[in-house]
Amino acid sequence: MQTISRRPRGGLQGRLRVPGDKSISHRALMFGALAIGETRITGLLEGEDVLRTAAAMRALGAEVVRGPADWRVAGRGIGGLCEPEDVLDMGNSGTAARLLAGVLASHDLFAVMTGDASLRRRPMRRVIEPLAACGARFTARAGGRLPMAIEGARDALPLSYRLPVASAQVKSAVLLAGLNAPGLTRVEEPHATRDHSENLLRHFGAEVTVEPAGAGRVITLMGQPELRAADVQVPGDPSSAAFPIVAALLVEGSELRIDTVGMNELRTGLFATLAEMGAELRVEDRRVEGGEPVADLLVRASSLRGVDVPAERVPSMIDEYPILAVAAAAARGTTRMRGLHELRVKESDRLAATAALLAANGVGVAIERDDLVVHGTGGRPPGGGLVATHMDHRLAMAGLVLGLACAEPVRVDDVSFIDTSFPGFAALMTGVGADFSGE
């Protein structure tokens, strides 16, 4: 069923909270399963992706229960996971698959992992290569694609690895393998990426050091720690907040307040970019909750101008380019987003699909090598097109937000994948005045 998004009669108004951070939610479940004792998680994202991780940790022997107020994980301890009886299906989630590959690499067990058609197209060689060096054996389809069989190492060796691409998933996979290897595991990243694994591992009692190294960092982890269960409070996901924020910026007369959004500085590149574009986006009541910086965001409709977004900013807003491109479509002048090659291997080829999303709705757009160039309309983009989402939740939400700003309605082919990261998105948005309808 297609969904039609139209320009609402009035502005978007109200106060809302977005679901829990996806990256932190996956990690909280995995680390809880590797700790001794009972971990309590509040604010866990109950999206499909994270539910796949919960199911996988159960299949590996941890007890994972949803209580009335929180989630509880009774862990097995480092090295204590047991062999799953069946294939682990990670659904649409690259984070779940790659992080779990790290966990399994240093467990003496056999497991097979698969995923949906989108995940089965995504490259796993980026984790297979470094993880194989600890002694694990991987057999995957051509091109390093899922399904993949993993024979974890009995006595894993610690890894020392320099990431060839800026990827928090690969960094985390190596660190997770290092948990069950003796001695120091070392990862060098050329550009700093989200550090939720490092922060949470410390929170669970591991010894982790982080040193700056040029534009990047060197991270070390002392292997075979005793992880102790810990309480985790998951903040609102800044990557999810991005959608109502851009919607409010583009719909005349809007004012939204979004409570308790994660403000980890390695995640907030979009907010910096929107500020440069002239967005009225106020950060209020900065505080630390559950070890992560959070704030309330107040956003008002603004007239935006095009900007040049440097490649160095990619890691801090890697998931935000589809929605930034929507903002750029309504801005005055041209926006150039540089260095987007990693977008080609996300839930879809997001570089091509984002360009197609705009082009189908009358916006001037070009891909120049790894750059996305959007010629802003300086007002309402034409709209009237059909957005193809390619099993990609962020394209579906970007398409719906675009429709709110366009002269003509925008149709989106399949919104079901939104549930992977932002369950309740359509209801939340219609609650503040958005106009979405099914056809």
Contact between 172 and ligand S3P by CB under 6 A: the answer reads yes
SS3 of 119, please? Answer: helix
Q: What type of residue sits at position 45?
A: L
Residue closer to ligand S3P (CB basis): 15 or 341: 341
Among 167, 273, 354, 377, binds ligand S3P (CB under 6 A): 167
| Backbone φ and ψ of 426, nearest 5° | -65, -40
**φ/ψ (deg, to 5) at 72:** -125, 135
How many other C-beta atoms are found inside a 10 Å radius of the C-beta of residue 215? 12
CB of 49 to ligand S3P, least distance (A): 9
Stretch of 1-9, 130-138, 166-174, 277-285 contacting ligand S3P, by CB under 6 A: 166-174
Kindly state the smallest distance separating residue 282's Cβ from ligand S3P, in Å.
26
Judge whether 91 and 119 are in contact, CB under 8 Å: yes
User: Are the CB atoms for 360 and 389 separated by under 8 Å?
Assistant: no
Residues forming a β-bridge with 140: 148
Q: Is 95 in the site for ligand S3P (CB under 6 A)?
A: yes
Q: From the list 88, 127, 150, 168, which residue makes contact with ligand S3P (rule: CB under 6 A)?
A: 168
Span of 40-48, 59-67, 161-169, 405-413 interacting with ligand S3P by CB under 6 A: 161-169
Stretch that binds ligand S3P, among 34-42, 164-172, 208-216, 363-371 (CB under 6 A): 164-172
Among the listed ranges 165-173, 246-254, 374-382, 397-405, the one in contact with ligand S3P (CB under 6 A) is 165-173
Phi then psi for 274, rounded to 5 degrees? -65, -40
Contact between 380 and 365 (Cβ < 8 Å): no
Q: Is 319 assigned a catalytic role?
A: yes
| Choice between 76 and 194, CB closer to ligand S3P | 194
416 Cα distance to chain centroid: 17
Q: Is 370 exposed, middle or buried (0-12, 13-18, 19+ CB in 10 A)?
A: middle
Q: Does 169 bind ligand S3P (CB under 6 A)?
A: yes
Which one of 49, 319, 392, 414 is the catalytic residue?
A: 319
Locate tokens 């982890």: which residue? Answer: 221
Cβ at position 100, least distance to ligand S3P in Å: 12
Angle, CA of 248, 252 and 256, to the nearest 5°: 30
Q: Which of residues 291-330 bind ligand S3P (CB under 6 A)?
A: 318-319
Which residues, listed in sequence order, are joined to residue 208 by a DSSP beta bridge? 221
Span 7-26, contacts to ligand S3P by CB under 6 A:
23
Residue nearest to ligand S3P (CB): 23
Show which residues are catalytic: 319
Contacts to ligand S3P by CB under 6 A: 23, 95, 167-169, 172, 194, 318-319, 342
